[in-house]
Structure 1
Amino acid sequence: MRSTTRLPALGLALLGTLGASAQSAAPASLTVQVNKPGAAVNKNMYGLFFEDINFAADGGLYPELVKNKSFEINPGLIGWRALQGAANLDAYAVRNEQGISQNNAHYLRLTTRNGAGGEAGIENEGFRGMGVKDGGEYTLSFYARRGAGDINGLTASLVGQRGESLGQVAVSGFTNEWKKYTAVVKATGTQNKAHLKLVLTGTGTVDLDVVSLYPKDTWNKRPNGLRTDLVQLLKDMKPGFLRFPGGCIVEGRTLSERYQWKETIGDVAARLPMINRWNMEFRHRSTPDYYQSFGLGFFEYFQLSEDIGAEPLPILNVGMACQYNSGELAPMGSASTKGGPNAGTAPHDHATDDPSLDVFIQDALDLIEFANGPATSPWGAKRAAMGHPAPFNLKMIGVGNEQWGPQYLERYIPFAKAVKAKYPGIDLVSSAGPSPDGELFDTASKRLGELKADYIDEHYYAKADWFRQNVGRYDKYARGGPKIFAGEYAAQSVNTGSENNKNTWDCAISEAAFMTGLERNADVVGMASYAPLFANVDAWQWTPDLIWFDNLNSYGSPSYYVQQLYSLNKGTKVLPVTMPGGAKNGADNLFASAVADEPTGEVVVKLVNYSATPRPVSISLAGAKGLGKTGRAQTLASADLQTQNSLKEPKKLAPQEATFAVKGSTLSYTLAPYSFTVLRVAGKR
């Protein structure tokens, strides 16, 4: 899938008009020192931050259509209801006697009444409905156990919003023992908000559990695969890394609600669901039905990273619950004195009522073995059993998410010591807290520098003008210290956390301007990712977001295309840029950075014109040799800073591509009003 389109004739005419109207203005003169390449750009510079917020996993990337398929969510009937007018359904309730397994103890018992009319059964609403496509095939599976009476089977139907049938299949052969049943439903229509109906055949009692309806059309056609259009949007970005699973869900509101990676691998049906910590965080977007099924677990995250060509970056709890919630702390433990980092590597049940820091450290060591260990190792064997005998080649992990204060630093030190002792080649990402400045930020940055941390994770959510005003943030950072991971950032159109924030062009172009500063300082900034990644249009908690979707369709925001253009044009070496008159980057709302792309021999110049008028520029490529006669321009531009993409207009603002002539070693180009432009010129240094 191409991420850019050819500039239509009208667009070319517009550029010509802009160029003509700007002839009277003196071009802004920039110099790119092609013959003086600087720092190397990390090949994984621009990546993705995934967190299960905004129904990003269940109801999003993870395409299971049934909500609460195992009846394990309290109350156990979330997502389910008795069929309307089901006169012969005598009783239904969630039970837990002799369930399928210890982790899947709850199930639904249905009892029908003799002689009454109407359908007896239940229906599932899905995640704000179920998206089904005409001709699409969906695998229905469930466990059933027959009790007293003669119930022999059921009929499963896809039902539209007006009650119309969209496909059905009958399943029979129930016995008095738990047994898994599988069938395929073929949809006869397309709907965004269908639901699943299960109607019993006969009368009596039957138990049901693990009711699943899963599309066959998944990424790489995997049985537990991911949603194709959303993975394609990720792959199209050519991301350098994938950070997962968050975000604040790593921490949990309490330590008992923390993300525990060991509970998310193995048999999907045996993974114990848990309420998502975002379900009641914001009163204005309360979602009490939001939970994590963990069908998308750590194995699937590693697999996704591999599929899209990104380095995996798992983030692990450091013994601290979210400090915005309970701030609960694990006891420090004694990792340095009790057995050291090599103790306890065998798989074990690590869930305790009062886990010490040792438990969290051991989880990290076991995760590295799960990802990289041979198939003969205890945790490597678990990976191999899931179908991936080869290592995932994990190179980095995050120690905590967004913690701050002395409690974090005192836990980080033994955590880092233990991991480095056993796996010295693993890079560690440490936290500088939720704010980009202030006493806590300064203290953490200073101490982590003294500890020679590999990466310090900095976060900034701020209004759009902050990003333009702070384009020089990393110009003044000391060289030779820890690398910076700009791990979470996004321009806010209103205020941080406001429900009224929008993914406007003003936000995206301001991020583009800021990123020229990241690129210019590639010797300091090693990785960067926008956040959050996904949002369901019907079930979001936080905005703005990079990619939006409903049950059938998806689109990238203007910020998505900014991130994509940087990732596709990241180059390999920074090239110094002198701004007009020696001014600072961003003076007069003109922002620039440049890189050499050594494998292709091209020079790449990125330019942001944050002004309402066209701007001619003259760019001297100092020291360039053998330049080609044409160059390629990719442009995002809109005179309306409030422009947004939508499901109806997914590419209202998307990159437009054109060519331009190159004469000698000087480029002349006219930047459109409010535009982000990437110029690529073939040449040799």
Structure 2
Amino acid sequence: MEMKILLLGASLVTSLPTMAGGKPISPNLFGIFFEDLNYAADGGLYAELVQNRSFEYSPSDVDVHKQPAGGWHPFTAWEFAKEGNGIGTISLETREPIHPNNPHYLLVDVKTVGKHGVGIRNKGYDGIVLRKEETYRFSVFLRNPDGGSMPVDVVVKDHKGTVVADTSFTASSSTWKQYEMVLRSRSDADTAALSLLFKKRGTVAVDMVSLFPIDTYKGRKNGLRRDIAETIAALKPAFVRFPGGCLAHGDGLDNIYQWKNTIGPVEQRKGDKNIWNYHQSMGLGYFEYFQFCEDIGAKPLPVIAAGVSCQNSARRRGDGQECVPMEDMLQYIQDILDLVEYCNGPSTSEWGSKRAAAGHPEPFNLEYIGIGNEDHITPEFEARFKMIYEAVKDKYPEITVVGTAGPGEAGKDYEEGWKIARKLGVPVVDEHYYKGWGWFLENLHRYDSYPRGGSKVYLGEYASWGSALENALAEAVYMTSLERNGDVVEFASYAPLLARVGHTQWNPDLIYFDGKQVYPSVNYHVQKLFSLNRGDTYHADVVTEDGGKSMLYSSCVRDSHTGDIIVKLVNMDGRERKANIDLNPFKRIRTEAALTVLAGDAKAKNEPGKPASVIPAESRIKVKKSFGYTMPAHSLSVIRIKTK
């Protein structure tokens, strides 16, 4: 039965109408979608090594049925530290905090210093990872309520108790003051802990305890973990959708993601729980998202809730969608308009000046904004979406709004979402679906019949249910159909992007990581091969197969910037297949081409923590106007041909 399905799913490259020289398609087709899911931000891309640095974790952050032993609380990841017969207490306080958005801090009362002092210890995320001779920026806000001075030791020890890095200083301010210094690691440590020890009798208030690698991506302060960021950057995504899907419209009305709470000095940002059942520090905020997009040459595509919360909220029985009251919608819309000004306004404007104060006087050149995500398309949703859409269109006609067609590939929400989009003339509509790999083979013609000239499609979230080569190849097959329909499919992004090993709420994911390493999946390599080999024209009828059509799928695109012709071939079969490639429509091709092949056992995976079993192999091959190419079993081949 499975073979029958595959054969039925196999198809010729459809000859859609093309213009002379190929059919123009979107050059923005392949990008990425970042959501703070699976500890993708804190404990992941955001490089902070201290967990719960500002004591803002709460039992309400985590689903009561999914809490770790002991539950979550303001002391999560912390423990009282007293070494050498020290005596003291710690307490959580809220009087005179650093900022109202950061209301909690710790008060340490040292009764007896003992040999090494009294204080607190943080274990980070599954242990703090340091590397020999690397440097790290330690910082902390302290306040001496009783005046006077307080000597402080900062000590990082590995799991054996060996000191890996340390420093000392004296705190001497009765008001909040930040102390900052650089530590150098003497050795490697994978499960270290950071201790802050106070060496004098008295009290001291503590907040925003931080340990950051100096070597962040692009050397940014409050920046990104370099190895993860580089793995993402290697995809060369055309765009980045952020900060999430379900996360953006949240677990109830008061949990809708508020971009204004995520900018400015980190000690003034307002953390919050997210719908995936953990806390967000907002250290990775809107400024950092836009800066990362700029650093990797990707267009930003922020997503804003359409005035309604996620219908999957656990807050209410039945339909969990909650709506911003109509009397509050004008302010809600103004917040969205302020975002555009923050990104594109001059540094002299109200919100542009806040961008400039963060170190970026030039605009971020925002072109797109998403309104809504997988929403239940109710009359309440429609009314609020229409208000937002028309307000953005009226004040910023240059901004392209991306709408939503509900949570699935079909059904009432899908139909109603598209009906609204066509009625209002929404330029782009976001579709999402997660399916078994056979579904992708059976639905290669999904976009062939979509109307040309109307709203375009953003396939914002899709993946097959698995991380084996067969899943990745099914996605590659589907991506050839996205290229074929690149005149109506404007954007596409696999989801989810990141997952910390041992902390996943969703599988599969594109990139796995732990505190030490990054583990790209087989699916990652497929996404990378398509993203690095984008084109802006599609060319039909370039590839045929000896012996008729079976499990050969292909696409051919041309990059007008380089003149390169790119042929992608996917063989889902368990044996070799020969493809005939006809390049006669192209002029003056070079006879040597670059070949990249991803092949292996259909069930093979790149398991986190183990050497990768399936990775692309690069070589050179000879080509001519008409030539044959033998595809390995279970493979994706990309042939990149230069023109003279």
Instruction: Please report how far the alpha carbon of residue 116 of structure 1 lies from its aligned counterpart in structure 2 after TM superposition.
Output: 5.7
Q: Which residue of 15, 21, 24 maps to 1:40?
A: 24
Question: Which whole-Å CA distance do the structure 1 matches of 2:502 and 2:383 have between them?
Answer: 41
Instruction: Please report how far the alpha carbon of residue 32 of structure 1 lies from its aligned counterpart in structure 2 after TM superposition.
Output: 9.7
Question: Which whole-Å CA distance do the structure 1 matches of 2:301 and 2:312 have between them?
Answer: 24
Equivalent residue number for residue 601 of structure 2: 639
For the pair 1:661 / 2:633, whether they are aligned, the reply is no
Instruction: Please report how far the alpha carbon of residue 602 of structure 1 lies from its aligned counterpart in structure 2 after TM superposition.
Output: 2.3
For the pair 1:54 / 2:13, whether they are aligned, the reply is no
- Paired letter, 1:55: Y
Question: Which whole-Å CA distance do the structure 1 matches of 2:130 and 2:164 have between them?
Answer: 9
SS in 2 for 1:669: strand
Equivalent residue number for residue 635 of structure 2: 675
Equivalent residue number for residue 496 of structure 2: 532
Equivalent residue number for residue 93 of structure 1: 91
CA contact (8 A) 1:150 1:202 kept: no
- Alpha-carbon spacing, 1:87–1:150, altered in 2? closer, same or farther (3 Å): farther
Q: Which residue of 626, 630, 643 maps to 2:592?
A: 630
1:332-351 aligned at under 5 Å gives the runs: 333=326
Equivalent residue number for residue 293 of structure 2: 305
Q: Which residue of 403, 418, 422 maps to 2:391?
A: 418
- Paired letter, 2:366: L
Equivalent residue number for residue 519 of structure 2: 555
For the pair 1:329 / 2:293, whether they are aligned, the reply is no
- Alpha-carbon spacing, 1:97–1:652, altered in 2? closer, same or farther (3 Å): same
Q: Among all aligned residue pairs of Structure 1 and Structure 2, give the percentage whose two residues are the same amino acid.
A: 39
Q: Which residue of 296, 308, 311 maps to 2:284?
A: 296
CA contact (8 A) 2:55 2:75 kept: yes
Question: Which whole-Å CA distance do the structure 1 matches of 2:12 and 2:352 have between them?
Answer: 57
Question: Which whole-Å CA distance do the structure 2 matches of 1:89 and 1:42 have between them?
Answer: 66
For the pair 1:460 / 2:460, whether they are aligned, the reply is no
Instruction: Please report how far the alpha carbon of residue 512 of structure 1 lies from its aligned counterpart in structure 2 after TM superposition.
Output: 0.3
- Alpha-carbon spacing, 1:602–1:188, altered in 2? closer, same or farther (3 Å): same
Instruction: Please report how far the alpha carbon of residue 446 of structure 1 lies from its aligned counterpart in structure 2 after TM superposition.
Output: 2.8
Question: Which whole-Å CA distance do the structure 2 matches of 1:78 and 1:109 have between them?
Answer: 16
Instruction: Please report how far the alpha carbon of residue 557 of structure 1 lies from its aligned counterpart in structure 2 after TM superposition.
Output: 1.0
1:220-239 aligned at under 5 Å gives the runs: 220-239=218-237
CA contact (8 A) 1:606 1:678 kept: yes
Question: Which whole-Å CA distance do the structure 1 matches of 2:15 and 2:454 have between them?
Answer: 27
Per-residue CA deviations over 1:284-317 (Å, capped at 9, x if unaligned) read xxxxxx3111111101111010000000000011
- Paired letter, 2:482: L
Per-residue CA deviations over 1:456-500 (Å, capped at 9, x if unaligned) read 10001111111111122111212112110000011103xxxxxxx
Give me the CA root mean square deviation: 2.4
Instruction: Please report how far the alpha carbon of residue 161 of structure 1 lies from its aligned counterpart in structure 2 after TM superposition.
Output: 1.6
Question: Which whole-Å CA distance do the structure 2 matches of 1:125 and 1:115 have between them?
Answer: 22
- Paired letter, 1:545: D
Q: Which residue of 377, 390, 393 maps to 1:405?
A: 377
Calculate the TM-score normalised by the size of structure 1: 0.85
Instruction: Please report how far the alpha carbon of residue 646 of structure 1 lies from its aligned counterpart in structure 2 after TM superposition.
Output: 3.0
Question: Which whole-Å CA distance do the structure 2 matches of 1:555 and 1:677 have between them?
Answer: 22
CA contact (8 A) 1:96 1:105 kept: yes
SS in 2 for 1:588: coil
For the pair 1:446 / 2:430, whether they are aligned, the reply is no
For the pair 1:383 / 2:355, whether they are aligned, the reply is yes
Instruction: Please report how far the alpha carbon of residue 631 of structure 1 lies from its aligned counterpart in structure 2 after TM superposition.
Output: 1.9
Deviates more, 1:637-646 or 1:651-660: 637-646
Q: Which residue of 259, 262, 272 maps to 2:260?
A: 262
- Paired letter, 2:120: I
- Paired letter, 1:567: S
Q: Which residue of 245, 248, 260 maps to 2:243?
A: 245
CA contact (8 A) 2:82 2:118 kept: no
Instruction: Please report how far the alpha carbon of residue 226 of structure 1 lies from its aligned counterpart in structure 2 after TM superposition.
Output: 1.1
Equivalent residue number for residue 448 of structure 2: 475
SS in 2 for 1:394: coil
Question: Which whole-Å CA distance do the structure 2 matches of 1:45 and 1:421 have between them?
Answer: 27
Question: Which whole-Å CA distance do the structure 1 matches of 2:331 and 2:553 have between them?
Answer: 48
CA contact (8 A) 1:318 1:357 kept: no
Question: Which whole-Å CA distance do the structure 1 matches of 2:393 and 2:325 have between them?
Answer: 18
Equivalent residue number for residue 185 of structure 1: 183
CA contact (8 A) 1:41 1:570 kept: no
SS in 1 for 2:191: strand
Question: Which whole-Å CA distance do the structure 2 matches of 1:459 and 1:562 have between them?
Answer: 19
Deviates more, 1:448-457 or 1:118-127: 118-127
Equivalent residue number for residue 497 of structure 1: none
SS in 2 for 1:172: strand
Question: Which whole-Å CA distance do the structure 1 matches of 2:279 and 2:569 have between them?
Answer: 43
Q: Which residue of 360, 369, 372 maps to 2:332?
A: 360
Equivalent residue number for residue 65 of structure 2: none
CA contact (8 A) 1:139 1:215 kept: yes
CA contact (8 A) 2:140 2:206 kept: yes
For the pair 1:78 / 2:76, whether they are aligned, the reply is yes
Question: Which whole-Å CA distance do the structure 2 matches of 1:324 and 1:452 have between them?
Answer: 28
Q: Which residue of 455, 459, 462 maps to 1:489?
A: 462
SS in 1 for 2:43: coil
Q: Which residue of 163, 167, 171 maps to 1:169?
A: 167
For the pair 1:574 / 2:538, whether they are aligned, the reply is yes
CA contact (8 A) 1:32 1:578 kept: no
- Alpha-carbon spacing, 1:262–1:583, altered in 2? closer, same or farther (3 Å): farther
- Paired letter, 2:177: K
Per-residue CA deviations over 1:177-228 (Å, capped at 9, x if unaligned) read 3222112111112122211011211222221111111111112212211111
CA contact (8 A) 1:155 1:170 kept: yes
SS in 1 for 2:23: coil
Question: Which whole-Å CA distance do the structure 2 matches of 1:79 and 1:258 have between them?
Answer: 26
CA contact (8 A) 1:86 1:121 kept: no
SS in 2 for 1:389: coil
Instruction: Please report how far the alpha carbon of residue 144 of structure 1 lies from its aligned counterpart in structure 2 after TM superposition.
Output: 1.6
Question: Which whole-Å CA distance do the structure 2 matches of 1:116 and 1:300 have between them?
Answer: 43
Which structure 2 residue ranges, 5 or more long, are not aligned?
1-10, 59-72
Equivalent residue number for residue 8 of structure 2: none
Instruction: Please report how far the alpha carbon of residue 167 of structure 1 lies from its aligned counterpart in structure 2 after TM superposition.
Output: 1.1
CA contact (8 A) 1:30 1:620 kept: no
Question: Which whole-Å CA distance do the structure 2 matches of 1:603 and 1:393 have between them?
Answer: 30
Calculate the TM-score normalised by the size of structure 2: 0.91
**When the two structures are aligned, how many residues end up with a matched partner?**
613
Deviates more, 1:101-110 or 1:235-244: 101-110
For the pair 1:122 / 2:120, whether they are aligned, the reply is yes
Instruction: Please report how far the alpha carbon of residue 262 of structure 1 lies from its aligned counterpart in structure 2 after TM superposition.
Output: 0.4
Per-residue CA deviations over 1:540-572 (Å, capped at 9, x if unaligned) read 211111111111211311111111111111112
- Alpha-carbon spacing, 1:583–1:447, altered in 2? closer, same or farther (3 Å): farther
